[in-house]
Amino acid sequence: MFRSAILRAGKVPSRATFQPQLIRFQQSAGAGFVGIRFKSSDSSSVADAAADVTSKLSEIQTQLPSFDESTIEAVSQLGQAVGDASNQIGYLSSIGMAKSWLWPPDLIQNVMEQVHVYAGLPWWATICVTTVLARVLLFPLYVKYSDTLGRTSRIKPEMDKVNADLMSCSDTTKAQQIAMKRKKLLSENGIKNRYLLVPVVQIPIAISFFTSIREMCIYPVDGLATQGIAWFQNLTLADPYLGLQCLTAAMFVALARKGGESGAQQFSPQMKKVFTFLPILTIPVTMNLSAGVVLYLAVNGVCSMIQTLLLRSESARKFLNIAEVVHHPTPANQGPQKGVFESFRENIQKARDQAEKRATMKENDDKMKDLAKKEKENQRIKIVRKK
Residue pair 258/231 in contact by the 8 Å Cβ criterion: no
pLDDT tops 60 at residue 256: yes
Of the two residues 21 and 130, the one the predictor is more confident about is: 130
Per-residue model confidence (pLDDT) at position 274: 80
DSSP category for residue 22 = H
Could you read off the pLDDT of 91-127 as tens digits, one per residue? 999 999 999 999 999 999 999 999 999 999 999 999 9
DSSP category for residue 237 = S
Per-residue model confidence (pLDDT) at position 342: 65
74-83, 162-171, 356-365, range with the lowest pLDDT: 74-83
Cis peptide before 336 (omega within 30 of 0): no
Residue pair 151/191 in contact by the 8 Å Cβ criterion: yes
Which of 156, 155, 175 shows the shortest CA–CA distance to 165?
175
Per-residue model confidence (pLDDT) at position 18: 45
φ/ψ of residue 266, rounded to 5: -115, 105
Per-residue model confidence (pLDDT) at position 11: 45
Q: Give 291: exposed, middle or buried? Use CB within 10 Å, 0-12, 13-18, 19+.
A: buried
pTM: 0.70
The pLDDT-based confidence of 30 (bands split at 50, 70, 90) is: very low
24-38, 160-174, 197-211, 334-348, range with the lowest pLDDT: 24-38
Which of 178, 18, 203, 211 shows the shortest CA–CA distance to 97?
211
Helix axes 198-218, 123-154, angle to 10 degrees: 170
Cβ neighbours of residue 303 under 8 Å, at least 6 residues apart?
131, 132, 135
Q: Quick one: three-class SS letters along 177-219?
A: HHHHHHHHHHHHCCCCHHHHHHHHHHHHHHHHHHHHHHHHHHC
* 110: helix, strand or coil: helix
